[in-house]
């Protein structure tokens, strides 16, 4: 989508990376974007699942100046995107056991209790796509689909 103005608050565009994931880019004007992050019930992480981490890492590095820093969390190869010392998001390969999942970005929201949030979402008509699971050294997460079909993740950070 070509760049367009969002009233006087900013300018945005939608792009599709070379692996097929779609993401919006934001140029702030009177609204800088998320004013609260990393607190309960706010955005805390963005993650790319893709079929080609090398190609995607090179794309976002060239486009946004992000450095792709590969790491290992237990059995999972994971890449953290950094810009200087700041973490900007993460990336992982789509595993074959996920089935026909297309490349995509997933937003994570911080919560105080992952299991209680998943139960509340199910009670409100949501579907659990990935049940609450622990990531050593990170916390407890789950992936939820809301009643309209939007998919997002929730994360209870591990104690510091």
Query: pLDDT per residue over 5-59, tens digit each?
Result: 999 999 999 999 999 999 999 999 999 888 888 889 999 999 999 999 999 999 9
Sequence-distant (6+) residues with CB within 8 A of 143 are: 106, 128, 129, 130, 151, 152, 153
Residue 36: its H or E element: none
Say whether 122 sits in a helix, a strand or coil: helix
Average pLDDT of the chain is 94
3-state helix/strand/coil string of 44-78: EEEEEEECCHHHHHHHHHHHHCCEEEEEEECCEEE
How far is 125 from 87, CA to CA, in rounded Å? 33
pLDDT band at 72, cuts 50/70/90? confident
CB 90 within 8 A of CB 107: no
Label the pairing between strands 104-110 and 151-157. parallel
All domains in the chain, ordered by first residue: 35-157 (3.10.180.10)
């Amino acid at each position: 989508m070509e760049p367009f103005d969002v009233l006087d608050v900013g300018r945005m565009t939608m792009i599709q990376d070379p692996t097929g994931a779609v993401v919006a880019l934001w140029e702030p004007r009177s609204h800088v974007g998320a004013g609260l992050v990393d607190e309960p019930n706010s955005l805390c992480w963005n993650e790319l699942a893709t079929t080609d981490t090398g190609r995607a890492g090179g794309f976002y590095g060239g486009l946004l100046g992000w450095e792709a820093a590969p790491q290992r969390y237990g059995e999972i190869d994971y890449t953290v995107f950094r810009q200087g010392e700041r973490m900007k998001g993460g990336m992982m390969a789509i595993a074959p056991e996920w089935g026909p999942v297309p490349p995509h970005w997933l937003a994570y929201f911080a919560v105080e209790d992952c299991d209680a949030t998943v139960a509340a979402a199910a009670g409100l008509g949501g579907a659990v796509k990935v049940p609450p699971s622990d990531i050593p050294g990170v916390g407890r997460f789950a992936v939820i689909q809301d009643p309209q079909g939007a998919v997002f993740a929730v994360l209870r950070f591990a104690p510091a």
